[in-house]
């Protein structure tokens, strides 16, 4: 009986992300909110506006699973709010 062939090493080198690219991860964009308190959290409701220190054109951190990976800026695409990567960390 013949032994099963092992995967070719060049296949693993061709696409090193193939084994992990479908794993889920948490992507977050952080916006500073000065003086936000537990009372503010309790009073959050649909339609409520929360003041931030973010200024249009100011880059905001983009994190994956808590690790900084890039800086980004907000952009409106059709009727959606999106982030555009401006610099990799």
Say which residue the tokens 């060049």 belong to: 10
Structural domain includes residue 63: yes
Over the stretch 1-32, which tens digit does the pLDDT of each residue have?
555 555 655 555 678 888 889 999 999 998 88
Cα 34 to Cα 48: distance, rounded to the nearest angstrom: 16
Structural domain includes residue 8: no
Cα 15 to Cα 18: distance, rounded to the nearest angstrom: 6
Structural domain includes residue 67: yes
Is residue 35 scored above 70 in pLDDT?
yes
Structural domain includes residue 20: no
How many distinct structural domains can be found in the chain?
1
Domain assignment of residue 49, given as a range: 25-88
Question: What CATH code is carried by the domain that includes residue 74?
Answer: 2.30.330.10
pTM greater than 0.75 (yes/no): no
Cα 89 to Cα 28: distance, rounded to the nearest angstrom: 14
Over the stretch 39-52, which tens digit does the pLDDT of each residue have?
999 999 999 988 88
């Amino acid at each position: 009986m013949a032994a099963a062939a092992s995967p070719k090493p060049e296949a693993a080198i061709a696409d090193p992300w193939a084994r992990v690219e479908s794993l889920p991860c948490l992507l977050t964009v952080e916006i500073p909110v000065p003086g936000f308190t537990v009372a503010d959290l309790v009073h959050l409701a649909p339609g409520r506006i929360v003041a931030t220190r973010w200024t249009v054109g100011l880059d905001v951190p983009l994190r994956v699973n808590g690790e900084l990976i890039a800086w980004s800026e907000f952009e409106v695409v059709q009727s959606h709010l999106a982030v555009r990567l401006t610099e990799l960390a």
